[in-house]
Amino acid sequence: MSPDTATLTRPHCLEGLDLLHASYRRQTFSRHSHDGYALGVIEHGALAFRYLHRDHVACAGEVNLVVPGECHDGRPAGPEGWSYRMLYLSPELVRDAARELEAGLPDFRTGVLRDPGLAGAIRAAHIRLSDPSVCVLEKESSLLLLLTRWIHAHAERGGKPGRNGPERAAVRRAEEFLRAHAADAPRLADVARASGLSPYHLLRVFAETTGQTPHAFLTQLRVDRAKNLLASQMPVARIAAECGFADQSHLTRLFRRQCGVTPGHFRKIVQNTGPSNA
């Protein structure tokens, strides 16, 4: 397999969809979550990741996926690394497809699906959606058929249960505090005070509830803000400072660990196609 390469594209005609085609030998993704769904197919090699409190390995010909808000990481499962095609889908896109099946927003209880037919459909749809010569109607039809097939075959009918209770409320307060102070350097004691828990208690329930530490959540907030600012003409070094990173290299390192591409690559995409929906 060739050295790490990644191409991120966004079809002009389809809001809420990003497409990643990548080959990685050395790439490791830090623990993070997405606002939307991620659905992909492994073309070569194997991807290892921690998701839903379990270790998974997705091999060539298998489908890998994550649902909104669930923390996960990613790394090569062997020395050959892996290559894959990923669709990053807004909840609205998936909800619209689920409505066609008279279902609510779907949930999926595993990170790997062994469904050769679906794997082939994902690959074919990804190629079609990435092709600028394919007309809008064909792209919209291909995407809807793919999503309804995926939901019908593999979704949990009950939908994703909410997380309630006093500890979840405390974690929510901590998240709100971190959002408000993402560009600062918040101390653990300050976050714990805002949550109403002790620092140790907060660290434990935050990880249990979200799948990541408060620091990892803060890093994700900063990367997400950087993604939005990359649509502007602001210099990358200034974006790093505005978002709370130590410097541009710090931004670049953590951005690639979460997004799989550099800030410069991502900027080319968003400035050509509009605001991020990833």
User: What does each of the 278 residues of the chain score in pLDDT, given as a tens digit?
Assistant: 567 999 999 888 889 999 999 999 999 999 999 999 999 999 999 999 999 999 999 999 999 999 999 999 999 999 999 999 999 999 999 998 888 888 888 999 999 999 999 999 999 999 999 998 887 878 888 899 899 999 999 998 644 444 456 888 999 999 999 999 999 888 888 999 999 998 888 888 988 888 888 888 999 999 999 999 999 999 999 999 999 998 999 999 999 999 999 999 999 988 776 544 44
Distances (CA, A) of 230 to 25, 120, 225, 235, 262: 27, 34, 9, 9, 11
Burial class (CB in 10 A: 0-12, 13-18, 19+), 234: middle
Main-chain dihedrals φ then ψ at residue 94, nearest 5 degrees: -70, -40
**CATH number, span 166-273:** 1.10.10.60
Residue with tokens 């690559």: 265
Decide: 256 and 20 in contact? Cβ < 8 Å. Answer: no
In terms of Cα–Cα distance, which of 190, 209, 192 is closest to 201? Answer: 192
Q: List, in sequence order, the alpha helices (H) in the chain.
A: 91-100, 116-130, 136-154, 166-180, 188-195, 199-210, 214-229, 236-242, 248-259, 263-273
**For the chain, where do the domains classified as CATH 2.60.120.280 start and end?**
5-154
Residue with tokens 């951005």: 255
**For the chain, where do the domains classified as CATH 1.10.10.60 start and end?**
166-273
In terms of Cα–Cα distance, which of 81, 77, 12 is closest to 49? Answer: 77
Domain 5-154 CATH assignment equals 3.40.50.150: no
d(CA 146, CA 67): 16
d(CA 142, CA 237): 40
